[in-house]
Amino acid sequence: MASSKVGSIGEYIREQRTRAKISLRQLADVSGISNPYLSQIERGLRKPSAEILQQIAKGLRISAEALYVQAGILEDREADTDVQAAVRADLVLTERQKQVLLDIYASFLKENEAGGVVAGPDEPAMPEQTGPEQAGPERKGREEVG
């Protein structure tokens, strides 16, 4: 199964590198992988190890998990929502920042699901607020701490 994706992992890496607008040589430099070896991976002649994929992912500033799925090392998970796909595809955010955003997004989804909040096609998924008292308690009398 994994061997059938060897070519596709190379194509995927090349596509991601092209989107990031970096040359093969630049990716080789930032990944710590030799230029010829990276070229062979992109052409589907070599099957990279998980460690090499991790280095490439770091160099491309994308999720190593995405490369593992493409290479057949990991099973594909449930399809991403548009929000998740956009966060994962962002080239500016670090992996840690992406993960934090995805965790926050997942917590919002769970909260809405637990609260029975469902968005219709023409309305946002937001619970109703009845007035300014929903914003939180006043902070009167707190100045006297100490």
- The answer to whether domain 2-71 has CATH 3.40.50.920 is no
Q: What pLDDT score was predicted for residue 66?
A: 79
- The predicted model scores a pTM of 0.50
Q: Are 64 and 54 in contact (CB under 8 A)?
A: yes
Choose between 62 and 117: higher pLDDT.
Answer: 62
Q: How far, rounded to the nearest angstrom, does the alpha carbon of residue 67 sit from its chain's CA centroid?
A: 11
DSSP state of 18: H
Q: What pLDDT score was predicted for residue 116?
A: 80
User: Which residues, 6 or more positions from 19, have their beta carbon under 8 angstroms from its beta carbon?
Assistant: 91
- Average pLDDT estimate for 127-137: 49
CA-CA distance, 71 to 65, in Å (whole number)? 10
pLDDT digits (tens, 9 = 90+) for 104-127: 998 998 898 888 876 644 445 555
CA-CA distance, 58 to 78, in Å (whole number)? 23
- Sequence letter at residue 108: F
Helix boundaries (H) for 22-72: 24-31, 35-42, 50-60, 64-71
Structure tokens at 69: 């799925």
Q: What pLDDT score was predicted for residue 73?
A: 79
pLDDT digits (tens, 9 = 90+) for 48-61: 988 999 999 999 98
Q: What pLDDT score was predicted for residue 96?
A: 86
Residue spans of the domains in the chain: they are 2-71, 78-117
DSSP state of 91: S
pLDDT digits (tens, 9 = 90+) for 18-46: 999 999 999 999 999 999 999 999 999 99
- Picking from 120, 98, 118, 100, the residue whose alpha carbon sits closest to that of residue 109 is 118
